[in-house]
């Protein structure tokens, strides 16, 4: 496993409040990583920094084998570097079929002038079929996305990101609002995706994190409080105190 993303000594202050405080995190490729922490710990701000939405006051964020800095890049340039982000609420095109949603995300990957003259190639069709299989929606390709269950919509959106072949996928609370069966499918899906890529999952649900069976980073007050296996971090005195509010 080589280091793909390195966040080093990063701080962010909002109106005098230090939301991220000398944060350092390294993500490998491939790797599945869970990031947990109480409300306000800085999880969303961490993802905002990596995707270029929020600019840190100090620190470095470097990417890839050439360790390029992400800090000078726009949000769209960072996305083109291969960083995809899945927000908590699914944002699929409800009136379009599952297949068309996947086709659109392939198209979004192209330069603007190419979108205008876009014709689906055999390779595109094969890629759509492959992604549908990966997310478990092959039988639903012709259905309008609006008819899917909450869990299926989340998988479709993950598929739309996968269609763009990201090297790093940031996923915000994927298990929220899911049935137990959907959670299980999501765990399997994330594990499979992370076999060949970096996947960072921000999640509140400890049971879900346990099932991911991956390294866990615990954030608190904008920095790393503990890191390691779920058993290691849940046995940590400081983590217990933070979670129990003592």
Ligand X SMILES: Nc1ncnc2c1ncn2[C@@H]1O[C@H](COP(=O)(O)OP(=O)(O)OP(=O)(O)O)[C@@H](O)[C@H]1O
Of 153, 157, 178, 181, whose CA–CA distance to 169 is shortest? 157
Token pair recorded at residue 115: 């979108």
CB of 138 to ligand X, least distance (A): 34
Identity of the residue, 48 or 159, whose beta carbon is nearer to ligand X in the bound complex: 48
CB under 8 Å to 11, separation ≥6 — which residues?
18, 20, 21, 22, 23, 56, 57, 58, 59, 222
Rounded CA gap, 76 and 109, in Å?
A: 11
CB of 38 to ligand X, least distance (A): 7
Rounded CA gap, 55 and 225, in Å?
A: 22
CB of 170 to ligand X, least distance (A): 12
Query: From the list 33, 37, 131, 217, which residue makes contact with ligand X (rule: CB under 6 A)?
Result: 37
CB of 36 to ligand X, least distance (A): 9
Half-sphere exposure of 232 (CA within 13 A, CB side): 11
Query: From the list 4, 25, 33, 45, which residue makes contact with ligand X (rule: CB under 6 A)?
Result: 45
- Is there binding between residue 44 and ligand X (CB under 6 A)? yes
CB of 44 to ligand X, least distance (A): 3
Question: Could you tell me which stretch among 15-23, 59-67, 104-112, 145-153 binds ligand X (CB under 6 A)?
Answer: 15-23
Token pair recorded at residue 11: 């701080």
- Is there binding between residue 174 and ligand X (CB under 6 A)? no
Rounded CA gap, 39 and 177, in Å?
A: 18
- Is there binding between residue 43 and ligand X (CB under 6 A)? yes
Question: Which residues are near ligand X by CB under 6 A?
Answer: 14-15, 17, 19, 37, 39-45
């Amino acid at each position: 496993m080589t280091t793909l993303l390195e966040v080093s000594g990063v701080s962010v202050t909002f109106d005098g409040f230090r939301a991220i405080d000398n944060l350092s995190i390294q993500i490998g490729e491939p790797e599945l990583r869970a990031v947990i922490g109480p409300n306000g710990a800085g999880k969303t701000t961490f993802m905002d920094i990596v995707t270029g939405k929020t600019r840190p006051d100090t620190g470095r964020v470097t990417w890839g084998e050439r360790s390029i800095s992400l800090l000078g890049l726009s949000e769209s340039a960072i996305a083109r570097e291969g960083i995809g982000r899945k927000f908590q609420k699914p944002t699929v095109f409800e009136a379009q079929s599952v297949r068309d949603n996947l086709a659109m995300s392939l198209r979004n990957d192209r330069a603007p002038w190419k979108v205008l003259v876009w014709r689906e190639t055999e390779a595109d069709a094969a890629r759509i079929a492959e992604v549908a299989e990966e997310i478990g929606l092959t039988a639903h390709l012709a259905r309008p996305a609006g008819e899917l269950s909450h869990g299926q919509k989340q998988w479709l959106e993950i598929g739309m990101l996968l269609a763009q072949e990201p090297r790093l996928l940031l996923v915000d609370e994927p298990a929220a609002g899911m049935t137990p069966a959907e959670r299980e499918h999501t765990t399997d899906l994330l594990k499979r995706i992370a076999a060949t890529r970096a996947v960072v999952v921000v999640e509140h649900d400890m049971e879900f994190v346990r099932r991911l069976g991956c390294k866990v980073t615990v954030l608190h007050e904008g920095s790393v409080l503990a890191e390691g296996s779920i058993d290691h971090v849940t046995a940590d005195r400081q983590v217990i105190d933070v979670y129990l509010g003592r």
